[in-house]
Amino acid sequence: MIYFDYNATTPVDENVLEVMLPFFTKHFGNASSNTHELGWYAKGAIDKARNQVASLINAEDAEIIFTSGATEAVNMAIKGVYEAYQSKGNHIITCKTEHKAVLDVCAYLEEKGAQVTYLGVDYEGRIDLEELQQSFTDKTILVAIMAANNETGVLQDVEKIATFTHQHQAIFFSDSTKLVGKQLIDVNEIGMDMCCLSAHKLYGPKGVGALYVRRKNPRVSLIPLFHGGGHEQGKRSGTLNVSGIVALGKACEMAQSEYWDDNTKVSKLRSYIEHQLLEIPELRINGSTRDRLYNTTNLYFPVLKDGSSVFSKIKHEFAVSLGSACTSSNASPSHVLQAMGLSKSEIENSIRISLGKQTSQQEIEMFVSKVLVLYQ
């Protein structure tokens, strides 16, 4: 099986694994145990990891809250703001192509009295900034727009979105799970008030992530999801996953140092796939070809002569995706491609290919050859 599904998850890097393993056995202390050396050592490791995560996005260490992953961080951010700012309003602006974690939280809050505006997107998968500006009301407290789409790789203009959001004294939260590590991020330069990331998208382990929460200009307040112990500055109670957090820190450090090399290598491989396969009549790239992640391509493949799909012919040899891994158990068509205006048939015959730093030219050539043969 050749793996082209790096947007779903990534293998743990050997260097990441190496730094986390001692915290299962030798350095097994609880980071909240402040009366002995094992606890102090774990606390020091957590502090180092917090700094590594903060450095990747140019945040302050104290602005990083460790979580079990991006889904928890999304819930913490959106629910936390909704509860903390009810005296100001109950209006949230988001987008139809958001990750289901965001959409499901917004649907839940609508049942609790929230008013939610779901922005549409154009055929490239980008929101209309004028529609965004017109959507603000005096009750708007939060704008939740993802930086990079997980299915298409399409990038939103988060800097302008942040500017418009702040003009209306609202908070800007961006699900940056797919962006972190694939593009250099400065939360202050962009104007993000909150963003999230997940270790397993960065060659780290599953089950650990982080939420960035701005502490000044403006200071963001959150009502916590969990209570019991007051960990993470009272925002996320629960014993810290020391080994996972250490791994996340190392993964962030490596992402920062390897960014340019990965970008150069992987973008060339992605370009090779597209240039070769665009020889197929009617094949199309879904989404913007200018504003997107360097590792992702979402392709519509015409139905084969025998009436079957390309996916059915390659699924046992190549690990690719028909959409988001988080919604693959749902039989309904991709809500992202649907919002972009694709028909049910086009959606069913679209494949997401996401590459990583371990992808080789040989693997790419094997894939291209396999697909081109199907159309001969």
pLDDT in tens, 105-149: 999 999 999 999 999 999 999 999 999 999 999 999 999 999 999
Answer yes or no: pTM beyond 0.85: yes
Domain range summary for the chain, segments of one domain joined by +: 2-7+259-374, 14-253
Which CATH class, in words, describes the domain spanning 14-253? alpha beta
As a whole number, mean pLDDT of residues 311-333 equals: 78
**pLDDT range class, residue 325, cuts 50, 70, 90:** low
pLDDT given for residue 323 in this prediction: 66
As a whole number, mean pLDDT of residues 284-299 equals: 97
d(CA 203, CA 11): 5
As a whole number, mean pLDDT of residues 359-376 equals: 97
- Helix 70-84 and helix 100-111, axial crossing angle in degrees, nearest 10: 30
pLDDT surpassing 80 at residue 332 = no
**pLDDT range class, residue 368, cuts 50, 70, 90:** very high
pLDDT surpassing 50 at residue 314 = yes
Which CATH class, in words, describes the domain spanning 2-7+259-374? alpha beta
As a whole number, mean pLDDT of residues 282-297 equals: 97
pLDDT given for residue 229 in this prediction: 79
Angle at 127 (CA atoms; ends 123, 133), nearest 5 degrees = 145
As a whole number, mean pLDDT of residues 1-10 equals: 97
What's the mean per-residue pLDDT of the chain?
95
Residue tagged active-site, from 95, 195, 196, 326? 326
**pLDDT range class, residue 24, cuts 50, 70, 90:** very high
Reply yes or no on whether 252 is catalytic: no
**pLDDT range class, residue 36, cuts 50, 70, 90:** very high
Percentage of the chain lying above the pLDDT 70 cut: 98
pLDDT digits (tens, 9 = 90+) for 197-253: 999 999 999 999 999 999 999 999 999 988 887 888 878 889 899 999 999 999 999
**pLDDT range class, residue 328, cuts 50, 70, 90:** very low
